[in-house]
Amino acid sequence: MMEIEMPKMHQSQQDMDLIDILWRQDVDLGAGREVFDFSFRQKEVELRRQREQEEEKRQQRLQDQEKALLAQLQLDEETGEFVPRSLPAQTNTTNGEITQNGAFAEHEGDALSFDECMQLLAETFPLDEPAEPAPPCLDVSVPPSTDLMMPANIPAFTQNPLLPGSLDQAWMELLSLPELQQCLNMQMQDTLNMDGFVKLSGEAQNPSYSQYLPGMDHLSSAQTEVCPPEYINTYDGSFSNMVSPNLSQMSLNVPDVGAEFRPEEFNELFYPEMETKVNSCPLTCDGGHMVNQLAEIANDPPVNPMDLQSFSPGNFSSGKPEPMVEFADSDSGLSLDSSPHTSSPGKSLNGDESFGFSDSDSEEMDGSPGSMESDYTEIFPLVYLTDEAQASLSEKSSAEQQEMKAKNPKTEPVEASGFSKPPFTKDKQKKRSEARLSRDEQRAKALQIPLTVDMIINLPVDDFNEMMSKHQLNEAQLALIRDIRRRGKNKVAAQNCRKRKMENIVGLEYELDSLKEEKERLKKEKSERSTSLREMKNQLSTLYQEVFGMLRDEQGKPFSPNEYSLQHTADGTVFLVPRLKKTLVKNN
């Protein structure tokens, strides 16, 4: 339903992002999404003009870019993972292609500008270019249909991270992919040829990205191969500036915008298409035809699924063995609670959930079988983004993907070298905590919260409030910040609590041991005293008998023990007391 994305232009990027989020969340906005996009066409015109101007500049840069491309291709040859791809016949049209085109054609205004872009691209980057020695991505074994499908998907992911400044370069990167070029050409043709569009079915509108992710991975890895790390790195920092929630998911449209384009313009121009394409892809996959192809791609030896990690410019979480989960998440706008792993659906009160960033959602991500969220978050340390990011749902996924991607280059080499070795298995426990933290960071980034999680959690109340007042934050952002702060503090509190509990336990155990020792000591002392007392009594008895035996009466006779007894006073004086008399005395 929401898959048929209407052209979305914004009064402000933030507003539109919010609208987009709500839209994805099926929140009733009371009006069609296009209502919010009225400025789109106007901007499109502006973009068109700007593009023309920028075209010249881009032409100039073309040669340099081609050089870079060649270098990248060289890298591919070194890896040996990629086999030169034979360009599939453009006439080869798959369901997915049609769907994409249809979806693409859905937006009349967009279609026009896009056509121009495509033409421009075609002119700028002839198909024969990519036909260079080491066509990057796809293995020869990959079916042509796959090529058709994949370019639409992958390029978008790689594209996202591009910085405005390096956009043209990144674009060249993308263009270096034969599949992409083909796809672009096909789409252009289709766009020109197809007046109508294929209305997406419900299925299509509720895509299961997992189906084509393998292919994505494939391309991603290819892309990785193509792009030198340093080259990739150039995109990471600024990617946030131009990131559109959909961009991360979208496939190919990005490219033809001139390098001079500002990120906003870029997004505005292509966002609708991107989104449409994203949605359309699943439909294609649903068609079943593509599924097999994708499966083939996934199984394609040259490309290791984990190569995605190397996927640089911060788009995708492709590092995940099972991209499906990630997409499910990114797809959260479509079906947040659909996941069976949702720990507590509808539990969130803070609004995260409504934006697909709810805890439950996160849990879903983590908990999903095969989900590597925590793992890849570990691998891809958080990068704090600027304010320009979007607040849309898909944005979140894109943000995560970006992070993952950004981190990928680091882990990539190892994993790439050892395919058999399962990734993300080292220091998981340690990484896990990091991943947890980064999850909130991801949320914060997704909602373009201008504060770091660390700041949010650790700032004193006054400083925190001051910081909050410095930024204009919407409801969702405020809610998320509150949750992050609450969770962060509670996390620390829980850690302290457990620490104290353990300390208490240790202390009690120590005290118990001490008391046991004391008890033993006292028992031993008691025993000793008893022994001593017994000895003293014996000595006293002996002395008594000795003394008593020495006593004699007037007649020289010994006293009878039955009639007399010895008693002594406190001063040591001893008396011989008759027992009867003593008894009488006692009685008295």
Partner DNA sequence: TGTGAATGTCATACA
Partner DNA sequence: ACTGTATGACATTCA
Residues engaged in binding DNA (CB under 7 A): 341, 343-344, 347-349, 359, 362-363, 366-368, 371, 374-375, 424-425, 428-429, 432-433, 436-437, 439-440, 461, 464, 483, 485-498, 500-501
Q: Toward DNA, which CB reaches closer, 118 or 481?
A: 481
What the block records as the tokens of 317 is 């979480």
- CB 316 to DNA: min, Å: 19
Closer CB to DNA, 63 or 429, in the complex:
429
d(CA 585, CA 564): 13
d(CA 586, CA 231): 112
Give the helix/strand (H/E) hosting 581: helix 579-587
Residue 252 to residue 83: CA distance in whole angstroms: 22
Closest CA to 172 of 255, 52, 115: 255
Minimum distance of DNA from residue 439's CB (angstroms): 6
Q: Which of 148, 156, 176 lies closest to 74, judged by CA? A: 176
CA–CA separation, 150 vs 564, rounded Å? Answer: 121
- Of the pair 461, 550, the CB lying nearest DNA is at 461
Residues 429-436: contacts with CB within 8 Å, 24+ apart?
431/374, 431/375, 431/378, 431/379, 432/374, 432/378, 434/377, 434/378, 434/381, 435/373, 435/374, 435/375, 435/377, 435/378, 436/374, 436/491
Closer of 64 and 509 to DNA (Cβ): 509
Tokens of 416: 């790439």
Smallest gap, in angstroms, from Cβ of residue 394 to DNA? 22
Q: Where are the alpha helices (DSSP H) in 300-392?
A: 323-330, 359-367, 373-379
Any idea which residue has 């980064």 for tokens? 438
- Is residue 222 within 8 Å of 130, Cβ to Cβ? no
Among 223, 257, 11, 254, residue whose Cα is nearest residue 138? 223
Which one, of 477, 178, 510, 263, lies nearest residue 357 by Cα?
A: 477
CB of 507 to DNA, least distance (A): 13
Contact between 272 and 6 under an 8 Å Cβ cutoff? The reply is yes
CB of 363 to DNA, least distance (A): 5
In angstroms, give the least distance from the CB of 383 to DNA: 19
Quote the least distance from Cβ 310 to DNA, whole Å: 21
The Cα–Cα gap between 540 and 369 comes to: 85
Task: In angstroms, give the least distance from the CB of 355 to DNA.
Answer: 14
Least Å distance, CB 351 to DNA, is 12
Residue 64 CB: number of other CB atoms within 10 A?
12
Task: Give the integer Cα–Cα distance in Å for 146 and 219.
Answer: 10
Six token digits for residue 191: 């766009």
CB 321 within 8 A of CB 132: no
CB atoms within 10 A of CB 529: 10
Residue closer to DNA, measured from CB, 41 or 432: 432
Give the residue with the Cβ less far from DNA, 265 or 483.
483
Closer residue to DNA in complex, CB, 275/375: 375
Torsion of CA 115, 120, 121, 127, to 10 degrees: 100
Measured from the Cβ of residue 520, the count of other Cβ atoms closer than 10 Å reads: 10
Question: In the complex with DNA, which residue's Cβ is closer, 283 or 372?
Answer: 372
CB of 498 to DNA, least distance (A): 6
Tell me whether residue 147 or residue 483 sits nearer to DNA (CB atom): 483
How far, in Å, CA of 544 to CA of 355, rounded? 98
Closer Cβ to DNA, 261 or 327, answer by number: 327
Query: What burial class does residue 544 get, using C-beta atoms within 10 Å of its C-beta: 0-12 exposed, 13-18 middle, 19+ buried?
Result: middle
Q: Give min distance, CB of 501 to DNA, in A.
A: 6
Residue pair 149/297 in contact (Cβ under 8 Å)? The answer is no
Asked if 307 and 220 touch (Cβ cutoff 8 Å), the reply is yes
Task: Answer whether 439's CB lies under 8 Å from 491's CB.
Answer: no
22: three-class secondary structure by DSSP = helix
Between 231 and 424, whose beta carbon lies closer to DNA? Answer: 424
Question: 229 or 367, CB closer to DNA?
Answer: 367
Distance of closest approach, residue 418 Cβ to DNA, in angstroms:
17
Minimum separation from the CB atom of position 412 to DNA (A): 19
- Would you say 99 or 477 has its CB closer to DNA? 477
